[in-house]
């Protein structure tokens, strides 16, 4: 399964990279579908903020490992290494930023998920639907957060629902 998303953010590339790359562990502050996230582990890639990130989703916890972190070319790539169902072979997400002007940045997200075995073949369509539903919000969440400093409307609703569950 392959998912590609592109969006223009009306902020300098450095501001977008600060949130997406340098604040890798804090994605839960802006990304829909994440109840919490936390970076951990000493970076194995020069310049990266950490090596790993744990993300608490409504369905459980996943662990991601940074595969590429290039602050010169604004490339971030990470792989889910724990927490996906057994029939998921790999899940790699790649983000690349491109400077359009001093005040605008193009963001490309490319997620590649490979399933395995008979169960993977059977679950592929349902998983694609579920991921498509979740990924529709994430680029807009990033845009809204970088441009305003506040969570998107969709993310704000999630935060409110989560706080009611905790209270």
Domain extents in the chain: 2-161
Which whole-number Å values give the CA distances from 128 to 5, 13, 114, 160, 167, in the listed order?
14, 30, 11, 27, 33
Q: What's the pLDDT band for 167 if we cut at 50, 70, 90?
A: low
Report pTM.
Answer: 0.92
Q: What is the mean pLDDT of residues 85-111?
A: 96
How many Cβ atoms sit within 10 Å of the Cβ of residue 13?
20
Distance CA 12, CA 10 (A): 7
pLDDT beyond 70 at 73 = yes
More confident position, 8 or 160: 8
pLDDT beyond 70 at 138 = yes
How many Cβ atoms sit within 10 Å of the Cβ of residue 66?
22
Residue with tokens 């490339």: 75
Q: What is the mean pLDDT of residues 38-45?
A: 94
**Which is the CATH superfamily of the domain at 2-161?**
START domain (3.30.530.20)
DSSP state, residue 25: G
Distance CA 44, CA 159 (A): 32
């Amino acid at each position: 399964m392959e998912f590609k998303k592109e969006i223009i953010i009306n902020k300098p590339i450095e501001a977008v990279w600060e949130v997406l790359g340098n604040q890798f562990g804090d994605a839960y502050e802006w990304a829909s579908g994440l109840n919490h996230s936390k970076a951990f582990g000493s970076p194995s890639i020069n310049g990266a903020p950490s090596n790993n990130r744990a993300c608490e989703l409504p369905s459980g916890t996943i662990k991601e490992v940074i595969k590429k972190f290039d602050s010169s070319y604004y490339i971030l790539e990470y792989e889910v290494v724990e927490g996906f169902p057994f029939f998921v072979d790999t899940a790699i997400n790649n983000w690349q930023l491109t400077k359009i002007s001093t005040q605008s940045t193009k963001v490309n997200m490319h997620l590649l998920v490979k399933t395995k075995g008979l169960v993977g073949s059977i679950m592929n369509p349902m998983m694609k639907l579920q991921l498509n539903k979740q990924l529709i919000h994430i680029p807009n969440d990033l845009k809204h957060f970088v441009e305003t400093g506040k969570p998107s409307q969709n993310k704000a609703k999630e935060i409110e629902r989560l706080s009611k569950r905790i209270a």
